[in-house]
């Protein structure tokens, strides 16, 4: 199975900061990576698919990059509503897909 490793597991940031989250796959997954945002008590919401494609309706301050094994989610100009937990998900071995362990973005 492909293991997805996210770092950091948590990050403290202030409104207006730029936050970068990384996700590493244990083997190559081309660009078949998605990013999700989850707020407490809510379902995950897809932000990015195909490593860098912005899901419709998602603010442009969210961006994704990377390929093969190393991927990045960048949140520019962090807003109060962005404090949440973020997960990466590989779709290369679908349906045996897998998620990263999550990165919690907290208020500094």
Partner 1 sequence: EVQLVESGGGLIQPGGSLILSCAASGFTVSSNFMNWVRQAPGKGLECVSLIYSDGTTYYADSVKGRFTISRDNSKNTVYLQMNSLRAEDTAVYYCARVAGDYTDGWYFDLWGRGTLVTVSS
Q: What sign has the CA pseudo-torsion 102, 46, 41, 97? A: negative
Nearer to partner 1, 83 or 99 (CB): 99
**Torsions phi, psi of 92, nearest 5?**
-75, -40
Q: How far is the CB of 4 from partner 1 (least distance, A)?
A: 9
76 touches 61 (CB < 8 A): yes
Nearer to partner 1, 74 or 97 (CB): 97
Distance CA 68, CA 94 (A): 16
Give the residues lining the site for partner 1 (CB under 8 A). 29-34, 36, 42-46, 49-50, 53, 55, 87, 89-92, 94-102
The size of the chain, in residues, is 108
Q: How far is the CB of 69 from partner 1 (least distance, A)?
A: 14
Q: How far is the CB of 105 from partner 1 (least distance, A)?
A: 16
Nearer to partner 1, 14 or 56 (CB): 56
Note the Cα 75 to chain centre separation in Å. Answer: 10
């Amino acid at each position: 199975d492909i293991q997805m490793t996210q770092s950091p597991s948590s990050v403290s940031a202030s409104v207006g900061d730029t936050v970068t989250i990384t996700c590493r796959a244990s083997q190559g997954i081309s660009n078949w990576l998605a990013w999700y945002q989850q707020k407490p008590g809510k379902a995950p919401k897809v932000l990015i698919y195909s490593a860098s494609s912005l899901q419709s309706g998602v603010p442009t301050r969210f961006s994704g990059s990377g390929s093969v094994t190393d991927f990045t989610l960048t949140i520019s100009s962090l807003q109060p509503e962005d404090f949440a937990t973020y997960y990466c998900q590989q779709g290369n071995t679908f349906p045996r897909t897998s998620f990263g362990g999550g990165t919690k973005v907290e208020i500094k």
